[in-house]
Amino acid sequence: MRDSFHQALVRARHSGGDIQCAGEQYLLLSLLGVGEISKVYLAQRIAAMPYLATIKISSAPGAASRYAREAEVLQELHAISSLLPEVFAHGPVDGDSSRHTLVLAHPNGYWGSLADLNEHFPNGIDPRHAVWIWRRMLDILRFVHAQGWSHRDVRPEHALVHPEDHAVRLISWGSAQKNTDNAAADLLRCARTVLVLLSGSAGSLPSAVPPALAKLLTRASQDEAFCRTQGAQGLDDMLRAAALEAFGPPSFVPLII
């Protein structure tokens, strides 16, 4: 199993130097990933009361406006619910206006993204895990859509998974909009994400996926009108019914990484 968060922190090497944003100094502990416009680091604030943070540092033009937009969305939604990342700061790197940052509270215990999970299970994940992963994503989208927002960029790279707690967190809110015009597309992309996890490198659903679950997932990943009609709540109701038919009453099945 991948190191626990505490072990990873103890073992982390000083891989990226120091950086200062909004008057706070951070030690860049380890590189977590590289995106289209960012490098993402695990960092620790250098202060009498340190805390861990996830810091996005720009690597391409346009990052500043994306970071500002993501911070705006998260600050509004986080005031209502802790389901979403908390923003500590954003803005140019102190002393280097060519680089920009977005500093977020680090979500303890999250193992990696669903894209990482897909790579870890090239033959596809257990369908029972697909159920709770899909349900957790639907929980977040139900809340977001009820507040009048759409994420607009749901994909495996933009969802973190917590194996021990069976939790999922959506990230990368820079494309979000305060309207629900894209709510159905969010739900369709959510279903496609789960389809990727179940299919693995084969690119199609394995025979081990129960028929009721396969039928619902296939339709939800292809039919945007169906997603619009059902909404997140309707899809969750249908998913619970399909899971009950396939697996019986809910039970906790550990996700072993």
Q: Are 62 and 54 in contact (CB under 8 A)?
A: no
Residue 36 has a pLDDT of: 85
Residue 9 has a pLDDT of: 42
With a CB cutoff of 8 Å and minimum separation 6, the contacts of 61 are none
Instruction: Point out which residues pair with 119 in neighbouring strands.
Output: none
Residue 203 has a pLDDT of: 84
Q: What is the mean pLDDT of each run of 10 residues along the chain (257 residues)?
A: 42 65 92 86 91 93 92 89 88 93 91 92 96 97 95 94 94 91 97 97 91 97 98 98 96 90
Question: Cα dihedral sign for 116, 138, 65, 18?
Answer: negative
Q: Which of 245, 242, 234, 147 is nearest to 187 (CA)?
A: 234
Helix-strand-coil split of the chain, %, nearest 5:
40, 25, 35
Residue 16 has a pLDDT of: 62
Instruction: Point out which residues pair with 150 in neighbouring strands.
Output: 177
Can you give the length of the chain in residues?
257
Q: Model's pTM, two decimal places? A: 0.87
Gyration radius of the chain over CA positions: 19
Residue 10 has a pLDDT of: 42
Burial, 189: exposed, middle or buried (Cβ in 10 Å; 0-12, 13-18, 19+)? Answer: buried
Residue 107 has a pLDDT of: 86
- How crowded is residue 21: how many other Cβ atoms within 10 Å of its Cβ? 23
- Which domains does the chain show, CATH number per domain? 5-105 (3.30.200.20), 112-247 (1.10.510.10)
Q: Please give the structure tokens belonging to residue 230.
A: 């059902």
